[in-house]
Amino acid sequence: MHVQRITSWVELTALEMEWNTLAAGMPLRSWDWLATWWKHYGGGNSGPQENIAARSRELCVLAIYREPTFKHGGPVRELMGIAPWYIDRSTVKGSVIRWLGDGEVCTDHLSLICRPMETQSVAASLAKALTEQLDDWDRIELTAVDASDEPIQSLVAELANRECITATGIADSVWILDLPSSWDEYLASISKSHRKQIRQLQQRVLNKSRTHWHYVESAAEFDAGWAILVDLHQRRRMALGEPGCFASPAFHNFHRETARRLLDRGQLRLSWLKLDGSPAAVEYHLADRTTVYAYQGGIDPNRLSDEPGRLSTIRCLMQAIQEQRRRFNFLRGDEAYKAHWRAVPRQVVNYRIVPNRRLARWRGHVMTVADTLNDWARNTAQLVTSNR
């Protein structure tokens, strides 16, 4: 196999169709999500930098091709795998390979993008390229990887065999609810008290004329739904004394463009719930053939007594079951409400990989010490707070 390093927006755009084919409909691994992230967070479109951190970032997508065959008088290359990465460079930390989609976007379920039967050969080819051809990186930081992810496990093992230092840490879990075939089956699976609460909410609110649920299915509805998402999310977070995600121009612009793309592909699940004529809750979800991913939402902070968040979740779960999705993925974060809906945690890990080069190992040691001190300081602050 041959590994090609993609470093420009032009090269990245040329991969769109093949990339999405390999991603097999998983929205968080799609070209639409990850290349658009680079456009807004890495300056990928050669436009104005929206994020000052982008000035230290260099695109470093590694595309793995099968050795070319000759058809119709010319060579034909088949794309076998993609490592969706960039390099973050700084004087102190050195050159760190990271995921496209990291940072404030907080993308889950990232991996090498390849067909399952090509996992081992893609991982071996990448490890060889990283250790024999690419010498301008000091560390690989692969955060929030599913603990069961075979492509990354294979890559880490291959790099360890090539004398790289590898370390693993635990991250917040993702929470996944396996969906039954009907709403009645789901209700039967939850506690008696929760089932009673849901049925009361359905009878008292959801089934009444004062309640309307809007589900975006067209471009004409998108703008209205997006405005409601930003408004309710920001109002709720600001009521809690937080700036809100959409206060970041890069975050807002990335998601608006990506959501619009996913709408065209039938993978956006944007909906809002109206109570008494005004929006009370909104959900921004993604979908593939089997799963709905609950990415973001918002509620009216002045209507908390109406339980708009719970009402909206009920409606979205009902819709997912109606669409015959098999899973509802609440994504990363160990918030208590996820278990309340009978979601189950799946372990997530962070990987750190340092090559067998003196300067890289020294920088890796410095970062390990710094992380240890940061953890100590954070734990100490939490202990002091809890003792007040």
- Residue 223 confidence (pLDDT) above 70: yes
Question: In this predicted structure, what is the pLDDT of residue 351?
Answer: 97
> Do 12 and 136 reside in the same domain of the chain?
yes
In terms of DSSP bridges, do strands 211-215 and 79-83 run parallel, antiparallel, or are they unpaired? Answer: unpaired
> Do 187 and 168 reside in the same domain of the chain?
no
Q: How many CB atoms lie within 10 A of CB 349?
A: 19
> Do 47 and 110 reside in the same domain of the chain?
yes
Q: How confident is the model at residue 90 (pLDDT cuts 50, 70, 90)?
A: confident
Residue 344 structure tokens: 């189950």
By the 8 A CB rule, do 286 and 27 touch? Answer: yes
> Do 154 and 205 reside in the same domain of the chain?
no
> Do 288 and 203 reside in the same domain of the chain?
yes
Specify if 150 maps to a domain.
yes
SS3 annotation, the chain? CEEEEECCHHHHHCCHHHHHHHHCCCHHHCHHHHHHHHHHHCCCCCCCCCCHHHHHEEECEEEEECCCEEECCEEECCEEEEECEEEEEECCCEEEEEECCCHHHCCCCCCCEECHHHHHHHHHHHHHHHHHCCCCCCEEEEEEEECCCHHHHHHHHHHHHCCCEEEEEEEEEEEEEECCCCHHHHHHHCCHHHHHHHHHHHHHHHCCCCEEEEECCCHHHHHHHHHHHHHHHHHHHHHCCCCCHHHCHHHHHHHHHHHHHHHHCCCEEEEEEEECCEEEEEEEEEECCCEEEEEEEEECHHHHHHCHHHHHHHHHHHHHHHCCCCEEEEEECCCHHHHHCCCEEEEEEEEEEECCCHHHHHHHHHHHHHHHHHHHHHHHHHHHHHHC
Environment class of 343 (CB within 10 Å of its CB; exposed 0-12, middle 13-18, buried 19+): buried
Question: In this predicted structure, what is the pLDDT of residue 382?
Answer: 42
Q: Which of 34-38, 51-55, 57-61 has the lowest mean pLDDT?
A: 51-55
Question: In this predicted structure, what is the pLDDT of residue 366?
Answer: 52
Specify if 253 maps to a domain.
yes
Specify if 332 maps to a domain.
no
Question: In this predicted structure, what is the pLDDT of residue 91?
Answer: 84
- Residue 68 confidence (pLDDT) above 90: no
> Do 49 and 72 reside in the same domain of the chain?
yes
> Do 149 and 255 reside in the same domain of the chain?
no
What average pLDDT does the chain have?
89
- Residue 49 confidence (pLDDT) above 50: no
Rounded distance between C-alpha atoms, residue 178 and residue 343, angstroms: 7
Specify if 103 maps to a domain.
yes
Mean pLDDT, to the nearest integer, of 161-175?
95
Specify if 160 maps to a domain.
yes
- Residue 276 confidence (pLDDT) above 50: yes
Closest CA to 271 of 304, 238, 224: 224
> Do 162 and 203 reside in the same domain of the chain?
no
Instruction: State which residues form the domain around 305.
Output: 180-325
Rounded distance between C-alpha atoms, residue 186 and residue 195, angstroms: 9
Q: Which one is predicted more confidently, 385 or 248?
A: 248
By the 8 A CB rule, do 248 and 106 touch? Answer: no
- Residue 50 confidence (pLDDT) above 60: no
Mean pLDDT, to the nearest integer, of 236-252?
96
> Do 222 and 147 reside in the same domain of the chain?
no
Rounded distance between C-alpha atoms, residue 190 and residue 179, angstroms: 12
Specify if 21 maps to a domain.
yes
Specify if 167 maps to a domain.
yes
> Do 92 and 186 reside in the same domain of the chain?
no
By the 8 A CB rule, do 232 and 282 touch? Answer: yes
- Residue 51 confidence (pLDDT) above 60: no
Specify if 330 maps to a domain.
no
By the 8 A CB rule, do 351 and 152 touch? Answer: yes
> Do 90 and 236 reside in the same domain of the chain?
no
> Do 16 and 152 reside in the same domain of the chain?
yes
Neighbouring residues of 188: CB distance < 8 A, sequence distance ≥ 6: 195
Structurally, the chain folds into a number of domains equal to 2
Question: In this predicted structure, what is the pLDDT of residue 77?
Answer: 78
Question: In this predicted structure, what is the pLDDT of residue 48?
Answer: 38
Mean pLDDT, to the nearest integer, of 303-314?
95
Neighbouring residues of 351: CB distance < 8 A, sequence distance ≥ 6: 140, 141, 142, 143, 145, 152, 156, 166, 167, 168
CATH code (residue 195): 3.40.630.30
- Residue 385 confidence (pLDDT) above 50: no
Apex 175 CA angle, 306 and 375, nearest 5: 105
Mean pLDDT, to the nearest integer, of 251-275?
97
Q: Report the percentage of the chain scoring pLDDT > 70.
A: 87
Rounded distance between C-alpha atoms, residue 150 and residue 338, angstroms: 26
